[in-house]
Chains A and B, each alone.
Chain A
Amino acid sequence: MGDPLFAHGIDPWVFLIVAVKVIVAFVVLLVSVLLMIWFERKVISDMQSRIGPNRAGPWGILQTLADGVKLFFKEGLRPDGSDRRVFYLAPYLAVVPAFLIFTIIPIGGVVTIFGHTTELQVADPQIGILFLLAMSSVAVYALMLAGWASGSKYPLLGSVRATAQMVSYEAAMGLSTAAAVLITGSLSTRDIVESQNGSLYGFLPNWNVLRLGVVPFAIFFIAVTAEVNRPPFDLVEGEQELVGGFHTEYSSVRFALFFLAEFMNTITMSAIVVTLFFGGPDGPAPHVVRWLWPILWFAGKTIVFLYVYVWIRASLPRLRYDQLMDLGWKRLIPLSLFWLLVVAGMLIDSRWGFAVFGGGLVFGLMLYQALRVTRAGVEGPDATPAVGPGGDFGPGGGATF
């Protein structure tokens, strides 16, 4: 339990190792944000038959650096009607949780440096994955306070949306995380990762995505996409309606921090998905440079998910607000709750599992039928819909009014 680094008390070397780990993690995350923005722009331009950034550095890889430098030298404005302290605080509230979540992710195996054995992750707290949920809840404050402190209506609308959306999807996210926690029997991310070592039926990897069925992973992935406000759930910054959403009034460094936090969150959440459902650094490791392979596996898996995020952004249109709430409350939460019960049943006994599965199915069908009957009763047995499919007015469609 816990990091073996602290097993023999804390001496200066331990302190140094922790400091180095923090610094390295911070730098790695910052650099990967730079690369991620470039990667996203390149991939999305690939998917739109464009070339994308190609002037700064080889393949335009320094484009983000150039943009960042430009952004830092811009004038930082603060609207007159804004709340000064909260306005200045909000960007940091966005960045800090984004970084803190990354600290609990196991990015490699266990290594020995200077005679100290340590895990390749900044921190391995016992509360583990609860820390993720806590921090992603804190990140809501950044968006909410940014919108509120701006003293302007569009940011406020954006932050109201952000808060509602993130609170809604946090439930589904927590429930699908609970499935992974349940099968591991521990909250620690290191334990979650280590329980996924080995193989399933001899040839499949023993990853949670397979052990739990694909449902918790799918729900978690969708909820996380909503949680980090990425398309198609980017209603928070819906440019067509809200100018820029919560960060409309931000400029210069503070805007850069929001931007940084957004991409940090994307990377971190991809890493969390990999940790919870895809075995983290698990993967076949040849006997040369043993410590490196888990890191490569982890990075590779994360990049796959980053690619999928970009792919989703390129493909799916933004959801309408009621569709977003519908998906969150009426579909993802019941489904994840149902699946959590099934997983719990299966862990006791497979008969229990199938019983819960069958019972849930029957209950779900009954609920569906009940809703259908009720809806038909409200609208009348032979009511023609006023607006037909596709939104066109059918003949006599308006007669029901």
Chain B
Amino acid sequence: MLRDFFIPAAFAGPMAQPCQHESYAQSGVMYESSRLSVEWLKAFLENFRQPAFGFGKGSKAWQARAVKAWCQVAREWQTMKFPGAKTVLAALAAVTGLSPKMLREALANHFLVFNEEILKKWLASVKRERDKHAEDKVKYPSLAFIVTAGNIPGVAIHPLIHLSLLGIPVLIKNASSEPLLLPVILETLARHDPEVAARIAALTWPRENIDLTQTVIQHNPALIAFGDDNTIEKFAQQKKSFADFGDRFSLTLVNPVSAKTKMRHIAYDLCMFEQMGCLSPQAVILLTDDWKKVDRFCAQLAEAMAKMNARLPIGKRSAAQHASIQQWRGALAARGAAGEKIILLTSAGTDWTVAAAKNFDLNERVACRFARVWPVASIKELAAIVHRYKNKVQILIWGNSAHELQKFFDSPELDETFDHLFFSFAGLAQTPSCGWLDEVNPAWRRLTRGLRLKTTLQ
């Protein structure tokens, strides 16, 4: 039986055993759960919160052991070599619907960027920036509260590790739909260094249980919230400042002249996490209006998608997901039948789709390996698209070589639309660097630097 919570062993005695334990089944996985009460949570938080190390007294020793512990965790999770790994993987596959191969790769990607050198460099850069903005310095919070989302397993791993390196006590509220992964990761951490793990707890309660959420909010934590726009808005109403990771998506950008060699990478980004996360491209924008090139690109991408599907099989989809894919395809087929230039290439079932059209409504999201190829005649046209979705675009994924990206940046047509966008290369979008959150989220950047926080929603 797997636990949907992690409470550090340091809270021995009654605190470690909050209240009656119970078990429940979800997606065929049996969980041991703790039935939380407001009273217990209040008492726990009073004991759990404590001054962060940040870069103050004792921080060097803390950071050294935290870096070491997390690197040990990262090594085990990259190779999935830890006790009970198979069971965890099978349970996660059942819970998330992702195939075991996909999960294995996704989890490895999460931890790929964490080694001693990288983590130390990150800490050094944080300190440098903190010192540079001395006028905005504030004390690091004595409690951080991460509210996770369930659609992308491990979405909170990066922020969790960063907060842990700074010695900030972190309470995680697991997503009810995926309460499994973080408690297991924390078990691994506790095995390597119980003291580092002692500053992290992960609990699960349904979002409807507002009393428990409010109890945490009343302790004035630094809030880091993942979720849809509604969730983020609700938190925004309650808390003046926090780091939000709301609904975002990415776009892949390709010059079709020389993209062939990158096709596998473009397909990889489209397939990872079944296109559900903020780093997944919702469209592949082609820098051409020559439909012969579009045709050729789509055929090559379809081939790459089929190959990727063989390497990383799509997981189990719900009837609703199948239905959505059929409806997306049906809508495009109708546009084609009405005379619009449409390309629609599909697998025999619903495993993957490649569709090209001159316009898409990106507010209507797709998932499950549905590649929307959007040809644009010019960078100006591209800028118009990026501008239209400027609050939603997380990163631009470059589908060609670095040399060609430089040429793109040198283009005289490039305007300020692209100034604040974060670029990545195809194939690497889903394995972002250690500091990528700092680049894409100013609120998060200020929080980790211990600088006065401004909400990103203001």
B is a partner of A: no
Report which B residues bind A (CB closer than 8 A).
Answer: none
Seen from chain A, the residues whose Cβ lies within 8 Å of a Cβ on chain B are none
